[in-house]
Chains A and B, each alone.
Chain A
Amino acid sequence: MTQPALVVEDLSLAIGPAQVVDGVGFSVAPGEVLALVGESGCGKSLTAQAVMRLLPAAIRQVSGRVRLGAEEISALPERRMRELRGRRLSMIFQEPQAALDPLATVGTQVAEALRLSVAQARPQVRKMLEDVGISDPDRRIDQYPFELSGGMCQRVMIATALISGPAVLLADEPTTALDVTIQAQILDLLRRLATERQTAVVLITHDMGVVADIADRVAVMYAGRIAETGPTEAIFAAPRHPYTALLLASIPRLSDVPKSKLAVIEGRVPTPAEFGPGCRFAGRCPLADAHCAEATPPLRSVGDGRLSACFHAERVR
């Protein structure tokens, strides 16, 4: 087996006393797309920010190791981290217009990722813009972000993130702000680039449709923990965590009976102040018993390369 491009182990993050990310671990192989999926507040974006070491000041890292290829990077000094970011470890964000510098041309921003000027890197930048599907790159290279649509700006951000040939790309809700027809284009692009360039992609999303479209493997997060992880097909075909099962059943699909009752997850996600000693989903779970409220279920193997953090994984349907 090839060495994973990125390994995260036992990552825990806290705001004050509340552990908002708790013991999260995963690995991604070169050319693989791993989806971190969950609802708002589940800790998926914080996990990515911790990998980049771009956490907000209020968040404290309690534990966790991050390995980039063979190198442990969690203890690197900030100076070394800055050399990695944008070169071997890149990130793209939800709002492409907000993430780009409004005062710099497309070419300047893409070339900057190589620490070069447009004049120095024009042919490379042009080629990269072409690779991400920007039509008329010779004209676009000298334009400013406001002259481009949202989908076009997202392509520019992807070009900026990938031009240095990073081993890992963290993509935080990269298509959430885009229309469906544009989203389809960008997802196809990410899938193709991951395969062609053997970039490991961590795709952060709340949308199970996006996951089904391009992820090889999935990690479902709930309230700061991984509920379940495994190959995409296996998880969608037969979830092994009650949260995943209910989440999938609650989504209206083009194939279900119109106006039929959708499955509902009763109650709401607990706030960090409400986290108890047991499974964080116990309060909303139809399978929960007394044990679930008292002990934290460990992530354990449930076959087919899958892990589930549920005492009752075998009873989920």
Chain B
Amino acid sequence: MSAVLEITDLAVHFPGRGGAPIRAVDGVSFHIAPGETLGLVGESGCGKSTVSNTVVGLLAPTRGSVRVLGTELAGANRRTLRAVRARVQMVFQDPVTSLNPRMTVGAAVGEPLLVRGVARGAALRDRVAALLEEVGLRPDHAGRYPHQFSGGQRQRIVIARALALRPALLVCDEPVSALDVSVRAQILNLLVELQARLGMSSLFVSHDLAVVRHVCDRVAVMYLGCLAELAPREALYAAPRHPYTRALLAAVPEPDPAVQRAKPRVPLSGEIPSPAAPPAGCRFHTRCPMAVDICRQKVPEWRKVGESMVACHLAE
């Protein structure tokens, strides 16, 4: 089957102060198969949210190609974009700012159906009721306003709205980061259940490696605008190939003192460089504990090592 999302050599640059463009995303390629969930992880400023915003058409690519269900988004006209956007929906981090405080929950969840002319009147009300039940809310919640709900319930409302048009691809950008720990589990359970039940594909952007491992089939690790590694979940977590992936995994504090305190420390020295002036050669070499001469001079090839794709000269 063909891919739901196919990104090839995607670059998104922003004009920077003082001439040099900010290379937020600089040559990223991956695809998402039908029914698959791909996790995109990295630290702040690595470009992961720029990728997700480009996929839903909120940003235009500077270079490269973004194909959704075979349709090219780069350079597409408004009509094409509008058609594609119906098939790609997004869930943002903060459910408070994602909902219009003056719109009832029913109006918010039903709006995509109304705008696209899918349903109106009684049929629309029935559809909204079913969507609310699908995410674990009650149909009579439709008449209430967002402020009457807790953070977790609001994220459920946002998810119901995103599901209204039965998208082929759901893009989730840090969907549980703003939620309290006990509520986070409820939303993660819901997302896993919806993936299985609806069979949709999903791009799951997060900084939390434990959360990504829990919901994703494959995982891509991003650093300073480029992919460092992309691998099936088991391979990435059991045998990370890129030193950055290893450092990230080592830095995740595990909620178990016995495990956490026995963990080898892989301290990363230094800070993330500016995307306006990325280091030559491998972008990670300034912080990499393994870096040698070639890393400072030559950009590592994106190549297959075992089950993983990795951009590191020393991956073996």
B73-96 with Cβ < 8 A to chain A? none
Query: B148 → chain A, closest Cβ, in Å?
Result: 12
| Residue among A182, A211, A233, A259 with max Cβ neighbours from chain B (10 Å) | A259
Is there a chain B Cβ closer than 8 Å to A183's Cβ?
A: yes
Cβ–Cβ contact B180 & A181, under 8 A = no
Query: B183 → chain A, closest Cβ, in Å?
Result: 7
A269 to B1, CA, bound (A): 46
Q: Which residues of B contact A182 (CB under 8 A)?
A: 271
Is there a chain A Cβ closer than 8 Å to B28's Cβ?
A: no
Closest to A234 in B: B257
Is there a chain B Cβ closer than 8 Å to A268's Cβ?
A: yes
Q: Which residues of B contact A206 (CB under 8 A)?
A: 180-181
A149 to B268, CA, bound (A): 15
Is the contact region of chain B dominated by helix, strand, or loop, or is it mixed? helix
Is there a chain B Cβ closer than 8 Å to A195's Cβ?
A: no
Interface size, B (range): 35 or more
Query: A82 → chain B, closest Cβ, in Å?
Result: 35
Q: Which residues of B contact A212 (CB under 8 A)?
A: 253-257, 259-261
Cβ–Cβ contact A213 & B251, under 8 A = no
Q: Which residues of A contact B184 (CB under 8 A)?
A: 250
A212 to B255, CA, bound (A): 5
Instruction: Say which one of B62-70, B166-174, B207-215, B308-316 lies at the interface with A.
Output: B207-215
Interface size, A (range): 35 or more
Instruction: Say which one of A102-110, A124-132, A184-192 lies at the interface with B.
Output: A184-192
A184 to B247, CA, bound (A): 10
Instruction: Say which one of B17-25, B49-57, B186-194 lies at the interface with A.
Output: B186-194
B230-282 with Cβ < 8 A to chain A? 233, 237, 247-261, 265, 267-268, 271-272
Is there a chain B Cβ closer than 8 Å to A152's Cβ?
A: yes
Cβ–Cβ contact B267 & A184, under 8 A = yes
Is there a chain B Cβ closer than 8 Å to A54's Cβ?
A: no
A273 to B168, CA, bound (A): 43
Is there a chain B Cβ closer than 8 Å to A252's Cβ?
A: yes
Query: A114 → chain B, closest Cβ, in Å?
Result: 28
Q: Which residues of A contact B61 (CB under 8 A)?
A: none
Cβ–Cβ contact B253 & A188, under 8 A = no
Is there a chain B Cβ closer than 8 Å to A196's Cβ?
A: no
Is there a chain B Cβ closer than 8 Å to A80's Cβ?
A: no
Q: Which residues of B contact A262 (CB under 8 A)?
A: 185, 188-189, 214
A210 to B44, CA, bound (A): 19
With A181-B268, A253-B255 as given contacts, are A259 and B249 in contact (CB-CB < 8 Å)? no
Query: A227 → chain B, closest Cβ, in Å?
Result: 13
Cβ–Cβ contact A254 & B182, under 8 A = no
Q: Which residues of A contact B182 (CB under 8 A)?
A: 39, 246-247, 250, 264-265
Is there a chain A Cβ closer than 8 Å to B98's Cβ?
A: no
Our pick among B180, B211, B252 for the contact of A180 (Cβ within 8 Å) is B252
Is there a chain A Cβ closer than 8 Å to B150's Cβ?
A: yes
Query: B77 → chain A, closest Cβ, in Å?
Result: 39
Q: Which residues of B contact A264 (CB under 8 A)?
A: 182, 185-186, 189
Is there a chain A Cβ closer than 8 Å to B152's Cβ?
A: yes
Cβ–Cβ contact A250 & B255, under 8 A = no
Query: A174 → chain B, closest Cβ, in Å?
Result: 13
Q: Which residues of B contact A210 (CB under 8 A)?
A: 253
With A184-B267, A254-B249, A254-B252 as given contacts, are A179 and B181 in contact (CB-CB < 8 Å)? no
Cβ–Cβ contact A263 & B267, under 8 A = no
Our pick among B207, B233, B260 for the contact of A209 (Cβ within 8 Å) is B260
Our pick among A151, A183, A253 for the contact of B210 (Cβ within 8 Å) is A253
Cβ–Cβ contact B192 & A268, under 8 A = no
Closest to B250 in A: A184
Our pick among A185, A209, A269 for the contact of B255 (Cβ within 8 Å) is A209
Cβ–Cβ contact A259 & B255, under 8 A = no
Q: Which residues of A contact B185 (CB under 8 A)?
A: 250-252, 262-265
Query: A124 → chain B, closest Cβ, in Å?
Result: 25
Is there a chain A Cβ closer than 8 Å to B9's Cβ?
A: no
Is there a chain B Cβ closer than 8 Å to A277's Cβ?
A: no
Cβ–Cβ contact A188 & B181, under 8 A = no
Query: A238 → chain B, closest Cβ, in Å?
Result: 12
Q: Which residues of B contact A236 (CB under 8 A)?
A: 255-258
A151 to B211, CA, bound (A): 23
Cβ–Cβ contact A149 & B271, under 8 A = yes
Is there a chain B Cβ closer than 8 Å to A255's Cβ?
A: yes
With A212-B255, A213-B260 as given contacts, are A40 and B267 in contact (CB-CB < 8 Å)? no
17 pairs, A vs B, C-beta closer than 8 Å: A180-B252, A180-B253, A181-B248, A188-B265, A210-B253, A213-B257, A213-B260, A236-B257, A250-B185, A252-B213, A252-B214, A254-B254, A255-B254, A261-B189, A264-B189, A265-B182, A268-B152
Seed contacts A212-B253, A212-B260; 20 additional CB < 8 Å A-B pairs = A39-B182, A179-B44, A179-B207, A180-B248, A180-B252, A184-B253, A187-B253, A206-B181, A208-B181, A209-B252, A209-B260, A212-B256, A250-B184, A252-B211, A253-B254, A253-B256, A258-B213, A259-B214, A262-B188, A268-B183
